[in-house]
């Protein structure tokens, strides 16, 4: 009897996004900075940081970009920029990196956890149910390069007079109906950590179109804010607040980030092209639906998630995929406690119980919502049925065809 011919025959090359694209250009950029140690100063007139920020504002058509040390810091700038802090609630989604919630804690606000839907980002209907008189902002996270339901969230934020902030840390380069993701909200954040579409090792960018919002966010990032605020061509301010943390970025990271930015479009052209091939090869689904995207042309193409119709299908579907050589697990499964799921954010349930001064819930006058590990059952249900294929530029059209064949065969047999 001849051996069964699996769908997956071609090995998937090792690869990734930004880190994988690093070559002599980044090395040269770092060397250039180090050969002239005077250039290590972040606030020199022609600094790498300023040049990166200028390129970003021009590229995205946004008024302000501030390069900082991480995506978490950039999110804290987004919040602080609009005066969000102690006594305020911020709605974040139950499926995002814990850092989205950490940024709220950083500025003294309390995160309120809301359900996701099949967009794998905030469910606008659930957000509305969780709004209280304390709510000041909504943060939507665009998971794995796919922008969430921005149109509905904008309407909702407007209706309730809330700030809308976008955590675009995983969606650098995405667009939403033709505009760079983020630019139509009050503020948005990128991360340039190792895992992101472009990287400089660690880094982040805070973006806003709002003058006062930028200044407030800048003061969140720089203890000597009043010494350098004019460096941003911003003019003198009458900012009387104490500046807060120090999220200052550095020239070496900025030099790397500037090179990486020149590679972004090329990488995304590849991932988007690959995803289109994968989708075009899929038969009409029987047991699953694709992750919802408001604008499929705008997503990064770095991920393809399928959501099974019901939980009973999960084990048989997974088994059939494995028979085809494709090993995929659900985003939420006992096998791996994914820290992108609220259930595993232990800090939420502990609430800094023995550190009463350090955490916003424990202070007089704070809002103190109840959290529990089952509070977003819909999120857990959706993620327990979601299987994700990560796509990177070193993959090939043949890989996409084989993955699609594996899915088609599994779907046909279950
Ligand atoms: C969705 C999301 N938000 C925020 C962050 C925080 O970024 P950083 O690690 O640069 O602080 C990350 C990073 O993994 C992320 O994926």
CA dist 378 and 414 (Å) reads: 24
Does a structural domain hold residue 42?
yes
What letter would DSSP give residue 185? Answer: S
| Ligand 1 neighbour 69 (Cβ under 6 A) | no
Distance from Cα 394 to the centre of ligand 1, integer Å: 24
Closest to 272 in 3D by CA, of 146, 91, 404: 146
Are 186 and 84 part of one and the same domain? yes
For a ligand 1 pocket test, name from 16, 18, 66, 71 the mutation site with the most ligand atoms within 8 angstroms of its C-beta: 71
CATH number for the domain harbouring residue 277: 3.90.1150.10
Instruction: State the Cα angle at 206 between 200 and 212, rounded to 5°.
Output: 155
Backbone angles phi, psi at 171, to 5 degrees: -130, 35
Give me the pLDDT at residue 24, please. 98
CA atoms of 5 and 323, how far apart (whole Å): 10
**71 Cβ inside 6 Å of ligand 1:** yes
User: Going by C-beta distance under 8 Å and a sequence separation of 6 or more, which residues neighbour residue 414?
Assistant: 286, 287, 313, 316, 317, 320
DSSP summary character for residue 122: B
Residues (pLDDT < 70) of the chain are: 1, 234-237
* 273 and 256 in a common domain: no
Residue 301 forms part of a structural domain: yes
Cβ–ligand 1 distance for 169 under 6 Å, the answer yes
363 and 396 assigned to the same domain: no
Inside any domain, residue 197 = yes
Nearest CA to ligand 1 atom 7: 71
Compute the half-sphere exposure of residue 226: CA atoms within 13 Å on the CB side of its CA: 8
The Å distance, Cα 78 to ligand 1 centre, comes to 14
Whether 50 and 186 map to the same domain: the answer is yes
Q: What range defines the domain where residue 288 resides?
A: 265-336+379-413
Say if pTM beats, i.e. exceeds, 0.75. Answer: yes
For residue 191, the ligand 1 atom closest to its alpha carbon is: 10
Place of tokens 């180090």: 34
Ligand 1 centroid distance, CA of 43 (Å) = 25
Mutate which of 16, 94, 97 for ligand 1? The one with the most ligand atoms within 8 Å of its CB, which is: 97
Shared-domain flag, residues 73 and 116: yes
Question: Cβ(101) to ligand 1 under 6 A?
Answer: no
Residue ranges with strand state E in 200-261? 204-208
170 lines ligand 1 (CB under 6 A): yes
In a domain, 222, yes or no: yes
293 Cβ closer than 6 Å to some ligand 1 atom: no
| Cα–Cα nearest to 201, from 132, 262, 257 | 257
Residue 311 lies in a domain: yes
**The pLDDT value given to residue 232:** 77
Q: What pLDDT does residue 235 have?
A: 64
Taking alpha carbons only, the member of 305, 292, 296, 335 closest to residue 403 is 305
Helix (H) or strand (E) holding 68: strand 64-68
Establish if 14 belongs to a structural domain.
no
CA 97 / ligand 1 centre spacing (Å)? 6
* Residue 185 domain flag: yes
β-partners of residue 113 are 92
Number of domains observed in the structure of the chain: 2
Q: What is the pLDDT of residue 170?
A: 98
Please write the tens of the pLDDT for every residue from 153-209: 999 999 999 999 999 999 999 999 999 999 999 999 999 999 999 999 999 999 999
Ligand 1 atom closest to Cα of 74? 11
CA–centroid distance, 286 to ligand 1, in Å, is: 35
- Measured over the CA atoms of residue 40, residue 46, residue 49 and residue 52, the dihedral's sign is negative
Q: Are residues 196 and 141 in the same domain?
A: yes
Shared domain check, 103 and 191? yes
Ligand 1 mean position to 191 CA, how many Å?
6
Both 80 and 227 in a single domain? yes
Cα–Cα distance, 172 to 194 (Å, whole number): 13
CATH number of the domain at 88, please.
Answer: 3.40.640.10
Name 23's Cβ contacts closer than 8 Å, sequence gap at least 6.
none
308 and 278 housed in the same domain: yes
Q: Residue 269 C-alpha to ligand 1 middle, in angstroms? A: 23
165 and 279, same domain (yes or no): no
Q: Are residues 172 and 280 in the same domain?
A: no
d(Cα 171, Cα 17) in Å, to the nearest integer?
12
Separation CA 204–CA 115 (nearest Å): 26
Angle, alpha carbons 191-252-39 (nearest 5°):
135
Indicate whether residue 93 lines ligand 1 (CB < 6 A): no
- Is 81 in the same domain as 227? yes
Q: Is residue 24 part of a domain?
A: yes
Nearest atom in ligand 1 to the alpha carbon of residue 96 is 1
């Amino acid at each position: 009897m001849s051996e069964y011919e699996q769908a997956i025959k071609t090995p998937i090359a090792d690869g990734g996004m930004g880190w994988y694209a690093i070559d002599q250009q980044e090395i040269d950029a770092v060397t250039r900075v180090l050969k002239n140690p005077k250039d290590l100063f972040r606030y020199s007139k022609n600094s790498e940081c300023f040049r990166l920020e200028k390129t970003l504002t021009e590229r995205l058509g946004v008024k302000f970009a501030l390069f900082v040390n991480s995506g978490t810091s950039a999110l804290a700038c987004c919040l602080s920029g609009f005066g969000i802090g102690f006594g305020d609630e911020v709605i974040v989604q139950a499926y995002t990196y814990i850092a989205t919630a950490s940024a709220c804690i950083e500025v003294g606000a309390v995160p309120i956890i809301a359900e996701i839907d099949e967009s794998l980002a905030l469910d606008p209907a659930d957000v509305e149910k969780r709004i209280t008189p304390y709510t000041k902002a909504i943060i939507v996270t665009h998971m794995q390069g796919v922008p969430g339901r921005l149109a509905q969230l904008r309407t909702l934020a407007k209706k309730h007079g809330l700030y809308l902030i976008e955590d675009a840390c995983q969606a650098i380069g995405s667009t939403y109906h033709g505009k760079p993701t983020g630019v139509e909200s009050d503020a948005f954040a990128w991360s340039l950590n190792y895992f992101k579409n472009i990287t400089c090792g660690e880094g982040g960018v805070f973006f806003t179109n709002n003058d006062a919002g930028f200044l407030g966010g800048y003061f969140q990032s720089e203890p000597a804010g009043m010494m350098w605020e004019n460096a941003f061509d911003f003019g003198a301010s009458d900012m009387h607040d104490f500046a807060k943390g120090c999220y200052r970025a550095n020239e070496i990271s900025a030099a790397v980030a500037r090179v990486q930015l020149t590679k972004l479009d090329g990488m995304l052209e590849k991932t988007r092209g690959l995803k289109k091939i994968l989708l075009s090869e899929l038969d009409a689904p029987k047991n699953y639906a694709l992750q919802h995207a408001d604008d499929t042309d705008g997503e990064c193409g770095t991920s393809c998630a399928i959501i099974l119709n019901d939980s009973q299908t999960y084990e048989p579907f997974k088994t059939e995929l494995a028979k085809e050589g494709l090993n995929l697990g659900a985003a939420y499964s006992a096998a791996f406690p994914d820290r992108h799921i609220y259930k595993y954010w232990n800090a939420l349930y502990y609430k800094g119980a023995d550190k009463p001064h350090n955490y916003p819930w424990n202070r007089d006058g704070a809002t103190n919502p109840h959290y529990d590990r089952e509070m977003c059952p819909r999120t857990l249900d959706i993620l327990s049925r979601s299987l994700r294929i990560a796509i990177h530029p070193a993959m090939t059209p043949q890989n996409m065809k084989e993955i699609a064949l594996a899915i088609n065969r599994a779907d046909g047999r279950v």
